Chains A and B, each alone.
Chain A
């Protein structure tokens, strides 16, 4: 490959121009270079005003999601050489309002995380002195996959339903609800499901499945949402029944 690559960045600087624009940066290319390394190179050596979030550079903090060649990805885990193009297009994650350059507004996402009550709900607490709640390895396995979400919001950028209906609770938050609902220590699944069976919850998902494809941590939100639909449907029907018939 050439020893230089063009990074075509979709930029937005509200104080300079009301509209987004493209800017090309010629960046020296190394074979082990991630998209994030190229962005950092631009910031350090070419244009300090380029704004993007990053921290851990090892795919665990979830800061650096961006649209790379139209696909939402973690820029710290995407090799430039994977893209096999002399010009690499990078832009902000789709479906979110842009604050500046690659920095998107996360308020909506943060609200939705809180909305699904992502904490252990107990009928009664066991005193700490009496030790842990026992959990067999296979019981941990029930929720392990969905507990691996790093909140990078890449699934939201991939989900066309969220793009069309911003009220949709969305993949990561629903996967998190699932994670707690199947945790054997939790007693809050009814309370949580009640928040998911409304207009903006489970039924909005039409199972496009893109969230699970683009997820960098293999969380499979799509699968988790489908698995919530059966108990969700049962609970939705129970609400319609007279109290005496409810379980």
Chain B
């Protein structure tokens, strides 16, 4: 058994994790920081973000307007103090990334360019063509190589957090290359492991997005918040779920139904294609349900029409969309419309934190999609999430770094690692003959979430989902692991990932069942109205003895009173 000790342990190497590491390293060159991740940093799912990130850089724009757009987009569930802080710190982060070399697209005069995005009143989305996440991630990763006090444990899977009282003092981790377990002592931990889109069947998310950080925190006793709010991105490619960026609509693309109509005029006439994602996804599903979808090999879809944008816009501003359409659908977007349908994209919910990233446990922080501060409420606006990774990644890095510097020395007990060794080696790898395979259980989980916890839900579908999940948890107890090797056992990691997804799915379903209203992305067909009387509140779910325990926390409202959300 190996043992490591660091001041600050960051779990996850995407935008939030790297930004946290750099912030902590800059503030204190003597702080011993490690980024531990199940993949190399460049593989993190930040890389797949396409459209852009929002911040107020222009004179015509104001911080208040960005904050109001975000609050309205959130269906008034965002904490307004956090949103105001977010919009205030966002511009600085964009400039900081520019100084670190990020190749933002530019205006002819050399300034950072901005584009339109859904739910934003004015053009305020900064971009680097349509490979924004890619450039952001690689800039952060490359810049992080500069710091001697940032170390990395690449391809290590953190399997659990270890507590001493109400403080997290360590973690257990599996070195994928050798298959050995290690104990990781840390004075402070930050979880930046992204969301859990892979718990659903049809998702824009990469296969690594299995909610490990959320599940880990939840099992360690830190509550999750607002988990019922799952964002469906309106435009994903049928079949693969590959994301076609909202920037394609920001640049002027149209959504059309089978009749060729821009059907959004009946749903969000004021915003049309630039309406918020929850309303657009629901509109598309309504069109399909009412028979105005287009049939395809992967079910009905609608069309994203970019043919009028012209070659210059497509090649300079949307090269990736062009590439993806050509490669994966075999069409030239200059001449043909792209088939699209809504797919699971983002978790508004996550580990409950304050605006410094601090969770309910001492020494444990979270940032990015893993966390729920909340600035996204019931529906995140497109291009706010990458900015969130930067703003709250940096804040968590600073806060956790400061905590680590003043915190007392801790020592991870050997028994904690031994217990985890026993679970993985003896229980999982050691079992002679298991039950169902990991892929089979995972597929049933994904179809269940898709069918019963999708864009529209009701009491019956959600109750059904709780039953299936309970059964799947039973199956999981006896899951078969055929591969007994230690070295790079990806079947074992699939099992650990499935465990995370089951945990997160359970939190989602129970939170959704209890919220008997419709708000943002949480659309209850049996309760189609927003109910501010009872549910202008955050759902907080804790792992109890017999299952998820749910409480509600008030929403912080500073300046914008809830009003009807009309676009």
A55 to B40, CA, bound (A): 11
Flag whether A131 is at the interface (Cβ < 8 A).
Answer: yes
**CB proximity to A under 8 Å, residues B86-141:** 92, 95-96, 98-101, 103-112, 131, 134-135, 138
Contact partners of A110 in chain B: CB under 8 A:
40, 154
Contact in complex: A60, B106 (CB < 8 Å): no
Flag whether B166 is at the interface (Cβ < 8 A).
Answer: no
**CB proximity to B under 8 Å, residues A183-199:** 183, 185-186
A162 to B208, CA, bound (A): 31
Given A15-B487, A49-B483: A132 touches B111 (CB 8 Å cut-off): yes
Flag whether B286 is at the interface (Cβ < 8 A).
Answer: no
The segment out of B142-150, B217-225, B379-387 that lies at the interface is B142-150
Flag whether B491 is at the interface (Cβ < 8 A).
Answer: yes
Contact partners of B110 in chain A: CB under 8 A:
134-136, 139
Q: Mark A70-94, 1 if CB is under 8 A from B, else 0.
A: 0000000100000000000000000
Contact in complex: B439, A60 (CB < 8 Å): no
Flag whether B536 is at the interface (Cβ < 8 A).
Answer: no
**CB proximity to B under 8 Å, residues A48-73:** 48-63
Nearest-neighbor residue (CB-CB) of A186 within chain B: B101
Contact partners of B206 in chain A: CB under 8 A:
55-57, 61
Contact in complex: B99, A125 (CB < 8 Å): yes
Contact in complex: A106, B40 (CB < 8 Å): yes
Contact in complex: B106, A54 (CB < 8 Å): no
**Chain A interface mostly:** loop
Nearest-neighbor residue (CB-CB) of A52 within chain B: B490
A13 to B486, CA, bound (A): 10
Contact partners of A183 in chain B: CB under 8 A:
101
Contact partners of B324 in chain A: CB under 8 A:
58
The segment out of B41-49, B183-191, B370-378, B420-428 that lies at the interface is B41-49
Given A120-B101, A125-B99: A77 touches B487 (CB 8 Å cut-off): no
Contact in complex: B145, A136 (CB < 8 Å): no
Nearest-neighbor residue (CB-CB) of A126 within chain B: B99
Contact in complex: B145, A114 (CB < 8 Å): yes
Contact in complex: B134, A119 (CB < 8 Å): no
A32 to B239, CA, bound (A): 10
Contact partners of A227 in chain B: CB under 8 A:
none
A55 to B486, CA, bound (A): 21
Contact in complex: B99, A56 (CB < 8 Å): no
Flag whether B488 is at the interface (Cβ < 8 A).
Answer: yes
Question: Within the complex, what minimum Cβ distance (angstroms) separates A21 from chain B?
Answer: 14
Question: Within the complex, what minimum Cβ distance (angstroms) separates A12 from chain B?
Answer: 10
Contact partners of B40 in chain A: CB under 8 A:
106, 110, 151
Contact partners of B39 in chain A: CB under 8 A:
53, 55, 63
A180 to B101, CA, bound (A): 8
Q: Mark A118-148, 1 if CB is under 8 A from B, else 0.
A: 1110000110100111111101100110011
**Which of B207, B239, B327, B487 is the one whose CB lies under 8 Å from A14?**
B487
A52 to B96, CA, bound (A): 36
Number of interface residues of A (CB under 8 A): 62
Contact in complex: B327, A59 (CB < 8 Å): yes
Contact partners of B294 in chain A: CB under 8 A:
none
**Which interface class (under 10, 10 to 19, 20 to 34, 35 or more) fits B?**
35 or more
Flag whether B525 is at the interface (Cβ < 8 A).
Answer: no
Flag whether A99 is at the interface (Cβ < 8 A).
Answer: yes
Contact in complex: A132, B489 (CB < 8 Å): no
Contact partners of A61 in chain B: CB under 8 A:
42-45, 47-48, 206
**CB proximity to B under 8 Å, residues A89-121:** 99-101, 103, 106, 110, 113-114, 117-120
Flag whether B328 is at the interface (Cβ < 8 A).
Answer: yes
Flag whether B438 is at the interface (Cβ < 8 A).
Answer: yes
Contact in complex: A128, B487 (CB < 8 Å): no
Flag whether B437 is at the interface (Cβ < 8 A).
Answer: yes
A55 to B135, CA, bound (A): 17
Question: Within the complex, what minimum Cβ distance (angstroms) separates B516 from chain A?
Answer: 37
Contact in complex: B177, A56 (CB < 8 Å): no
Question: Within the complex, what minimum Cβ distance (angstroms) separates B541 from chain A?
Answer: 28
Contact partners of B207 in chain A: CB under 8 A:
54-55, 57
Question: Within the complex, what minimum Cβ distance (angstroms) separates A28 from chain B?
Answer: 15
Contact in complex: B439, A48 (CB < 8 Å): yes
**Which of A32, A51, A136 is the one whose CB lies under 8 Å from B490?**
A51
Flag whether A6 is at the interface (Cβ < 8 A).
Answer: no
Contact in complex: B99, A120 (CB < 8 Å): yes
**Which of B92, B142, B328, B490 is the one whose CB lies under 8 Å from A118?**
B142
Contact partners of A57 in chain B: CB under 8 A:
206-207, 240, 242
A54 to B481, CA, bound (A): 20
Contact in complex: A147, B103 (CB < 8 Å): yes
Contact partners of A15 in chain B: CB under 8 A:
485-487
**Which of B44, B101, B104 is the one whose CB lies under 8 Å from A119?**
B101
Question: Within the complex, what minimum Cβ distance (angstroms) separates B49 from chain A?
Answer: 10
**Which of B92, B100, B239 is the one whose CB lies under 8 Å from A120?**
B100
A216 to B187, CA, bound (A): 42
Flag whether B482 is at the interface (Cβ < 8 A).
Answer: yes
Task: List 3 tightest A-B contacts by C-beta distance, closest first.
Answer: A49-B483, A44-B439, A134-B110
Q: Mind listing 10 A-B residue pairs with CB under 8 Å? A: A57-B207, A58-B328, A60-B131, A61-B44, A118-B145, A128-B95, A128-B99, A132-B112, A135-B106, A147-B135
Excluding A134-B109, A134-B110, A147-B135, 5 further A-B contacts by CB distance (< 8 Å) are A44-B439, A50-B490, A62-B43, A128-B99, A150-B47
> Which B positions have Cβ atoms within 8 angstroms of A?
39-40, 42-45, 47-48, 92, 95-96, 98-101, 103-112, 131, 134-135, 138, 142-143, 145-146, 154, 177, 206-208, 239-240, 242-243, 320, 323-324, 327-328, 437-439, 481-483, 485-491, 494
